[in-house]
Every structure is written in structure tokens, then in C-alpha cells.
Homo-oligomer: A and B are copies of this chain.
Amino acid sequence: MVQKKYVYAFGDKNTEGTAEMKNLLGGKGANLGEMASLGIQVPPGFTISTEACIYYFQNKNTFPSKLWDEILTRLKDLEKVLGKKFGNASDPLLVSVRSGARVSMPGMMDTVLNLGLNDLTVRGLAKSTKNEWFALDSYRRFISMFGNVVLGISAERFEAILTKKKLKRKIEFDTEFTIQELKGLIRQFKALVARVTGEEFLEDPIQQLRTAVEAVFNSWNTERARTYRRLNDIPHNWGTAVTVQSMVFGNMGDTSATGVAFTRNPATGEKKFYGEYMLNAQGEDVVAGIRTPNSIELLEQDMPEVYQDLVKVYQKLENHYKDMQDLEFTIENQKLFLLQTRSGKRTASSAIKVAIDMVNEGLISKREALMRVPANQLDQIFHPMISPKAKIKLLGKGLGASPGAAVGKVVFTPERAQEMAEKKEKVILVRMETSPEDIHGMSVSQGILTAKGGMTSHAAVVARAMGKPCVSGVSTLDVNVKRKKCMLNGFQLKEMDSITIDGTTGKLIEGAVPLIQSRLTSNFTRMMTWAGEVRALQIRANADTPHDALMARDFGAQGIGLCRTEHMFFDEERIFLVRKMIVAEDGKVRDEALKKLLPIQRGDFIEIFKVMDGLPVTLRLLDPPLHEFLPNSPAEIKNLAKEMKTSPISLRKKIETIKEVNPMLGHRGCRLGITFPDIYRMQVRAIVEAACRQVKKGVKVFPEIMVPLVADVNEFKIVRELIVEVAEDAITKSGVDLNYKIGTMIELPRAAMTAGDIAKEADFFSFGTNDLTQTAFGLSRDDSGSFLNEYLDKGLLTRDPFVSLDQQGVGQLISIAAEKGKKVKPNIHLGVCGEHGGDPASINFFNTLGLDYVSCSPYRVPTAILAAAQAVIQEDS
């Protein structure tokens, strides 16, 4: 058997890595190999693979048996190449040790520079470079970096020693220390390490190296790193690579420097070299912001030749990678070394500009350009978003229930929200959950934050309809309305404290953070046109109001895939009628309420059909359990009782009987249509009458009536009969010609398993992936907060299955159902209307299954269009 290889060299003739090997060598290691192969000067070194890291964690934090030998062999090779020796007293080899995962990941151990220094080698360095000041400066840097990132001693404690000394000496910059002072600093730093760790500072360079490599591995599993991965959907089982690289020094005086640069502007996409550098400095100085770095253009004056080299390198890299690059470089005595190159992070709008420019420059094809824009971030363009430059303190996370970011002062009641709004204060309404009585407060707030409720909770639905950011389902939030405060993940927020919420990501951030707003550009339109030409899937939108429908259409939606007819019930003036209908003991009272609701619903549909002229509109009949519409507060109950001419006590009792142990699995969906057929009759009549009126006006109307929560074909048959009966009657009375379809949601596992039978009766299937996920996993979205994060942190699940479709389980149900359905009815129309319809990874999967369309929220339509195009490109490649 061939021994597994864990260490890969770069920078010499014997470069082993390439850019393709990111999964094995991390982004950093892979690109160092690639640059070396391109003939770009990189300090030689080697990379320990991610497989070694994975082995380390799977085997109780031990190295693979031959790993250490391999590292030592590579170190020897490095010594040979550079003619220096690690730990040598006269001309020591120094290295940096850096982590590097497949994707760049803040929160992990970053870098230890100058490793290999100790009391002995520092003298050798001074001698060989003839620069004692530089050697001592490097040593004190090493002790503090190693102390901080490897030994876990707070950086502030080293900083405090430095600052004290500067104050005493009345100097501003580190570069002003004398040699004696540097020696003193080194003593003080080592004493600090000994005090905190109880052991002397590690002098053995070989031990320093081993400890640093282990520290990089361990940094993969810190709380911070796990949290970052969870928030960014990075699997925990990837592991990190470790790059050990020979040092070059930007701190050897004013002929040396260090810097970072982008080949184009990452914020705007403008084609202009962009970056900054610092003379006589090491990498950490640029990031730490101790001195202000210079803009990269100034380098042309400081070191014209080096600048020309740098320009050549960046152009070479961009031409080679055919993408905007983010570079790190060091200049040692006028000689340029590249330390890193990677694809540069950028905003969605800059991604679009760069991609289109590169097509124009002939660098990439249209299809490549489409792959360059991160579909998932596309809706940034339409919402205020948190400035990427902002420093934020995360207070917690909930469901991103209505997209966009908002800043405001915390209020806990709708009344207070109104008061404040009248005083022109921007407020965020924070509630345990919202109810229709809160709507006036919601409408004047910048955003809404709730402890309970999922993506289809009252707060979420209303916020989306209002176009306001909303974060819901924050299980760690506990609101105390009386005391005007709340606890959030252990933090206390009082009324009028500022907060920032991000309804796109679900993040909650302390204080008022700067927001930015991008604008739609001709570039965006162009990118969407290209995507539209490539994709196979049609894209529809989930829209419950004419406003949403119009927005969806503007964004390119080819129809409405889900109009939740009951969302219209939540309107303040209607909810009363709805409640009367529900609690009516008496058929007459119910009939009256239904009669009054009919014209209201019809009015809604008339508007939606008008907006969607020429495009299909899928209308789902009443779905949620009835108690969702009922009042909770004593005042509301009293009100309703009065209207119903009954006592609050008996009304409360009635409401109690309607409540359910597991409402998600209760009396809802078509079960309501079967037991209370009059409600469905009213809805169908409203739909068909609205459609007929528009047909008369020349509008092209294609209603698709959808039956929710079907478990058995018999349910669908009964409801279908009811629909046909009412619809035919309405059509006959109107005297126009109307084509309509009747289909069903496939959102229960049993429906998926019996999809063949159902397909015989249904014109279309729409996969309700939210409920299908809930039932397949036996997992209530509303309740999952108490353990799902722990599952993600522990790597039990790689992604939240409510955000990105679980292809293995839920996806298999969809695949089985689609196959059974098509077998019976080859031209059956298949779509998706769950939240997953707007998730690029899920869209890719749906494309593979050959579905006809996905439907998503209006703001996600461009994302879905782009993702659908990317899916086709991926499939073809």
C-alpha cells in the first residue's frame, strides 16, 4: 500500500500544489502552489493537508503516524533550498504558520510569523541580516503572536506593555523603539507568558512548530469558528490545512514593506488596482491599524520598479484566474514576494459589474460570468444591507423572515411604536409574537423582531407584505412588556436601546449599524437577461397581494406559484368577519360572515389577476388551522363575544376547543375544506368570479386552484368536485370562457408515496417543501430553535433543512413523487412553492429532477433566475 501523503511543497522547482487542490490544501496553500508554477515569486514552504486535520479530529487529537516525519523531511528540503537552518544560531531559517481552509474563514487562528526565533537564533538573525534592531523587532512580534494565537493569551495584554512603554518614552510608533527597549520588551513579553501559562516561553524551534501546527488544527473547532461556519453554512467536516512558509521581511527598514490589494474595486467593481501598503512593517500592522497605510498608488513613487513588478503580477494573476484577485505581498529589500492570492470578496453589485466587464474584455464567456455572481446574495441589491465595513456585535440569530436590514430603537408595544413614530423616531417593534391587533404598530416600525413563530407566522407574513425587515423565531428572546425590557441571548435590552436587525440573514446586532442601499443597474438587467436565456426552470413568485405580485412581475417572475388566500384574512377589517365565521355555532351566522367575505376576497383576486395579465396564478385554498385566526387577549375576546352576543367565558371555551395539541398536524388544509366546505366554496367562488370579470375586460387569466395538505387521493377528489361544481356555476353565470386548473400540494410523505394515485386526478403538483421537511424529519420549525442550532454546531446536520432542502431524505420523497406522478400523467406540471424555491442549492437539485418551476418570495426571484441558470451550466459541465 502506498503511504498516504499529507504534506505538499511549493515555491521551489518541486511545487506540488495547484489551484485545483483547494479541498486538500486550503485556498491559501493551493494558490501558493499555483503562483509558484506561474513563475511568480513566493517564499517557498509546504502545506499540511486538510486530510491530516480531519484525521487529527477523528483520532482524539493525534497526528497521523507519519505526519511529523513528513513535516521534518519537508523542513530539511526547505533548509536546502534556502541555505539556512531551522534553529541555527548563525543564520536561522524562520517560518510563518498559517491556517487555510477551503474558504477563508474569520474566527480561526490566522498567522504566526517569525517562528523559529529564540534567545539564540535572534542573535543569528541579527548577524546574518546585519540588522539587530530588525531581529529584535521580529522576536518581540513573534513572542506576542505565538503567545496570543497559539497559547491563547489576550493580545491586549501584550499591547498594554507596548503602550505603557510608548507613553513613558513619549513616542508614537513601534519603529521608534531603541534596541535596548526592544530587549526590555522581549523580557517583559516572556515574563507575561511564563506568568499566564506557568511555563517558560518555548525556546525549542521544533517544539514551537509542532505546537503551532496543533494550534491551527484546534482553532478549527473553537466556538467562534463553529459559530461562523454555522452562520455561513460551511460544513464542520472540511477541516483546515496548515501552511508553513519561509519568512520574508517587510520590516527590514524603508526598503521593505507589506501590503494587500485587489485587482479591481471590490465594493463597486470598477476596473482599477486598489489596495494599501505600509513601509517597514509586517503583515499584522496593516490589519491592526496602528499606523495608517498608504494607498497603493503611492508605491509607484516609493519604489517605482517594485510597483511595476506588482502591476505585472496582478495582471498576470487576473488573466490566469480570470477573476478579480485579492493579494497579500511583502517587499523585502526592494524585492517583491507574493504571500497569498485568492478570489476577491465583493458585493453583489460589484460581482455583476466585474463579471460583465470581463465578458467585454474577452476574459470569460457569458456562462462563466453567470457563475461568478453569488446567486444567494443577489437580493442584497434590493434591500438596505449592513455595510460590509461595519464592525458588528452579534446579539443572536433568528429566522430571516422578511429580507433587508433595519436600524431603530426598541419598543415593546404597538402603541409605543406609534407614539415614537409621531416623534419621528425610528423604532423596531419587539414582541413575543404579533397578532392582527399589532398591525398599526408594525406599519410605523422600521422592522419587526419576534421570539415565536416561523416563516409563515403572522409577523413574517405581514412584514413581507409591508416590505419591512423581520426576524422571527428568536428562541432566546424573552420580552417583559411591563418592565419595558427584554432579554436576548443573555443580553438585556431596554426600551429605546438601539438595535440593528437583518431580516435577510436573521442576525441581530447591537446598536445602530450603518446600512447601505445599492441601486438596480443596467448591468443587473443584462445579467438577468443572460440568465433567462440559459435556465430551464421557470421562476414564479409567492405573492399574496397585488403589491407583491407587481414587484414579482417586475423582477421577472413568470407567474404566481403560491397565493396564500388566507393571508388576506389578517387585514384588520376582515379578521373580525373571519373570527365570526370560525366560532359561529350556528350555520346562519357562518353563512352571513362568509357572504360578507366573498366580495372582499373577490376584490383581492381581481387586482392580482390584473397585475398578472397573461401569466398563471396559483391560488391555495385556506390552509392554516383555524385557531390561528382567533383572538388571544381578554380584550379581543370580550369584543368578539359582544359582537357574537355570547359571553366571553363561553367564547373562550369555544376557542379552547379549537386549539390543538399539534396544530401543524391537526385540523387544517383540505381537512378544513372537507369538514367546512362552505369556506372553500366561498374562496373558489371569489377566485372564479374575479377571473371571469377580468376575462370580460380582456385580461388573460390563468387561475390554478391548489388544494393544500392532501394525504390521500380521496380528499383531493372530494375537494376537486366541490371546486368544479362552484366554478362551473360561476362561469355559467358570468357567460365567459375560463380555463382553470385544479392541482394539489405534495407536502406530506404519504402524498409523495401515493403520488401516482393523486396524479390521476390532479392537473399539477406543487411541492410544499416546508411542510414536507417538517413531516419527513418529524421536526416542527416553530420548536426546532431549542436544538437545531446545537445540531448544526455539532455537525449533525450540515445545513438547516428549512433553509436548504435536505436532498437525501426530503429530496428523495420529491423525486419518488415526481417519478410516480409522471408515470401516470407524463405532462403533469410540477413545481415547488416552499421557501426552498429561493435557495440556490435547492434550485440546483430541483433542476436536476426536471421540475417545471420553482416559486419564491418576490425579492428572491432574481436569485432564483440566476440560480436556475447556474444549475443548467453546472449540469452541462
Contact = CB atoms under 8 A, between A and B. Distances in A.
Interface of A: 452, 478, 657, 660-667, 669, 671, 674-675, 709, 711-712, 714-715, 718, 747-750, 753-754, 771, 774-780, 782-784, 786-787, 790-791, 794-797, 806, 808-810, 812-813
A809 B753 contact: yes
A543 B711 CA distance: 32
Of listed A669, A779, A794, A808, residue having the most chain B CB within 10 A: A779
Contact of A796 (B661, B663, B718): B718
A869 B774 CA distance: 38
Contact of A674 (B712, B749, B750, B794): B794
A584 B705 CA distance: 51
Q: How many copies does the complex hold?
A: 2
A556 B832 CA distance: 51
Contacts of A660: 780, 782-783
Nearest to A658: B786
A790 B675 contact: yes
A750 B806 contact: yes
28 contacts: A478-B657, A660-B780, A662-B663, A662-B664, A662-B783, A664-B778, A665-B774, A665-B777, A665-B779, A665-B780, A665-B783, A666-B783, A666-B784, A675-B786, A709-B778, A711-B776, A711-B779, A711-B809, A715-B796, A747-B778, A748-B777, A749-B775, A749-B809, A750-B776, A750-B777, A750-B778, A750-B806, A753-B809
Contacts of A776: 711, 748-750, 753, 775
Given A661-B780, A664-B778, 8 more contacts: A452-B661, A662-B664, A711-B777, A714-B795, A749-B775, A750-B777, A754-B812, A775-B778
A173 B586 CA distance: 49
Nearest to A710: B778
A381 to B, nearest CB: 35
A718 to B, nearest CB: 7
A771 B779 CA distance: 12
A748 B776 CA distance: 6
B797 A663 contact: no
Of listed A657, A749, A810, residue having the most chain B CB within 10 A: A749
Given A778-B709, A778-B775, A667 B786 contact: yes
Of listed A660, A775, A810, A813, residue having the most chain B CB within 10 A: A775
Contacts of A771: 778
A861 to B, nearest CB: 29
B674 A790 contact: yes
A776 B663 CA distance: 15
A774 B714 CA distance: 18
Contacts of A780: 660-662, 664-666
A774 B777 CA distance: 12
A779 B662 CA distance: 9
A318 to B, nearest CB: 41
A105 to B, nearest CB: 22
A774 B671 CA distance: 15
Contact of A754 (B452, B665, B809): B809
Contacts of A667: 783, 786-787
B775 A712 contact: no
B711 A778 contact: yes
Nearest to A774: B665
Given A665-B665, A749-B813, A712 B797 contact: yes
A478 B715 CA distance: 30
Contacts of A714: 795-797
A795 B717 CA distance: 12
A662 B782 contact: yes
A700 B478 CA distance: 53
Contacts of A808: 753-754
A782 B674 contact: no
**5 shortest interchain CB distances as A-B pairs:** A665-B780, A750-B809, A662-B780, A749-B749, A666-B783
Contacts of A809: 711-712, 749-750, 753-754
B665 A664 contact: yes
Of listed A662, A711, A747, residue having the most chain B CB within 10 A: A662
Contacts of A797: 712, 714
Contact of A791 (B452, B674, B777): B674
Given A749-B775, A776-B753, A661 B783 contact: yes
A173 to B, nearest CB: 49
Contacts of A662: 662-665, 780, 782-783
A810 B662 CA distance: 20
Nearest to A660: B783
A674 B786 CA distance: 12
A582 B704 CA distance: 49
A15 B187 CA distance: 117
Contact of A787 (B674, B754, B783, B810): B674
A661 to B, nearest CB: 4
Of listed A667, A747, A790, residue having the most chain B CB within 10 A: A667
Contacts of A754: 808-809, 812
B748 A796 contact: no
Contacts of A709: 778
